[in-house]
């Protein structure tokens, strides 16, 4: 049974900031949270080398393992590819999570090191106009991380659309309503 959570009708328990999961970091999950006011500075420090983002894509997975399809009811997240790393960024009722790994499957098929429900994609893909530090600046400047999760008004698909549309060089993606 996989995970692909988008809990939180009105953002209860939503934490403003980012969970940064690196598969090579053995610290417990609660130690990986970067509060919003420290986001720009600390996230750049954790990221380290300022690599160019080669590709940005939107992927989706079923919300529930018993779901037959992921037509309009799905969890959306963004994948980034750099020369040395794969990255995912997504929003759900727990907050925003950024993951990084040397392996594509570790960020595409897993959420916080647990298997996701069936993943498909990319459903949109393009080259990226940013390097990693510029991407963090964009997240901060656009307040993409801010705002509690809301099932209808501020959900994972809307977040993925904002992040992808800001980062993609020429393509746009909007969730089907």
151: its two tokens? 């099932």
**Measuring CA to CA, how many Å separate 169 from each of 75, 129, 172?**
23, 5, 9
Among 11-25, 49-63, 141-155, whose mean pLDDT is lowest?
11-25
Per cent of the chain over pLDDT 70 is 90
**Measuring CA to CA, how many Å separate 137 from each of 51, 82, 117, 124?**
14, 17, 31, 23
Q: What is the pLDDT of residue 3?
A: 54
Tell me: the pLDDT tens digits for 89-140?
999 988 899 999 999 999 999 998 889 988 999 999 999 999 999 999 898 8
Q: What is the pLDDT of residue 128?
A: 97
Band of residue 9 on the pLDDT scale cut at 50, 70, 90: very low
On the question of pLDDT at 58 being above 90, the answer is yes
77: its two tokens? 């997240």
**Torsion, Cα of 102, 64, 56, 134 (10° steps):** -80
Q: What is the pLDDT of residue 13?
A: 64
Q: What is the pLDDT of residue 158?
A: 94
On the question of pLDDT at 8 being above 70, the answer is no
Per cent of the chain over pLDDT 90 is 48
Q: What is the pLDDT of residue 11?
A: 44
Cut 0.85: pTM above it: yes
45: its two tokens? 């420090």
Q: What is the pLDDT of residue 56?
A: 98
On the question of pLDDT at 1 being above 50, the answer is no
């Amino acid at each position: 049974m996989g995970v692909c959570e988008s809990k939180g009708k009105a953002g209860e328990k939503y934490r403003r900031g980012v969970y940064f999961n690196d598969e090579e970091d053995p610290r417990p999950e609660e130690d990986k949270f970067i509060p919003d006011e420290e986001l720009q500075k600390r996230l750049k420090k954790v990221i380290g080398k300022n690599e160019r983002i080669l590709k940005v894509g939107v992927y989706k997975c079923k919300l529930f393992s018993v779901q037959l399809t992921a037509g309009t009811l799905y969890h959306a997240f963004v994948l980034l590819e750099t020369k040395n790393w794969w990255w995912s960024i997504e929003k759900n009722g727990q907050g925003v999570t950024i993951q990084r790994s040397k392996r594509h499957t570790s960020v595409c098929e897993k959420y916080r090191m647990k298997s996701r429900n069936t993943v498909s994609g990319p459903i949109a893909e393009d080259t990226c106009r940013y390097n990693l530090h510029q991407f963090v600046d964009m997240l901060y400047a656009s307040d993409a991380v801010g705002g509690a999760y809301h099932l209808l008004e501020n959900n994972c698909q809307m977040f993925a659309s904002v992040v992808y549309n800001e980062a993609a060089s020429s393509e746009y993606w909007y969730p089907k309503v």
